[in-house]
Amino acid sequence: MIRYLLAGIGAGAASAFYLAYNYHPILLHGAVHAAIFSSGLIAMYFGKKLAAKTAGYYLAGALPVHLAIHYFVVRDLPQLFSRVSHVLNFWSLP
């Protein structure tokens, strides 16, 4: 099961670093970003290894690493959080 966790860590890091160091139009960028992130799940599906447990290990490795890179390296999540909080505060005005 460790290999699925490590595969998730690798895919999460690769897709976040792709975003950090490549610029493409947003539609293409999002599609490539999602394909890299889900590549391990796709490989498990075709290799007949995809189950809830293996997908859980994969995502447990991928999501925290992916979001940490977005937050600390790419720095697009702090901007997103500030925009969302601004919109929510704006909507809460009387």
Least confident segment among 19-33, 38-52, 74-88:
74-88
Distance CA 94, CA 80 (A): 24
With CA atoms as reference, report the closest residue to 52 among 3, 4, 2. Answer: 4
With CA atoms as reference, report the closest residue to 31 among 39, 20, 41. Answer: 39
Task: Say if CB 4 and CB 40 are below 8 A apart.
Answer: yes
Distance CA 94, CA 92 (A): 6
Res 18: pLDDT: 79
What tokens appear for 14 in the block? Answer: 């690769």
**Average pLDDT of span 71-85:** 69
Res 48: pLDDT: 92
Res 80: pLDDT: 65
**Average pLDDT of span 61-78:** 80
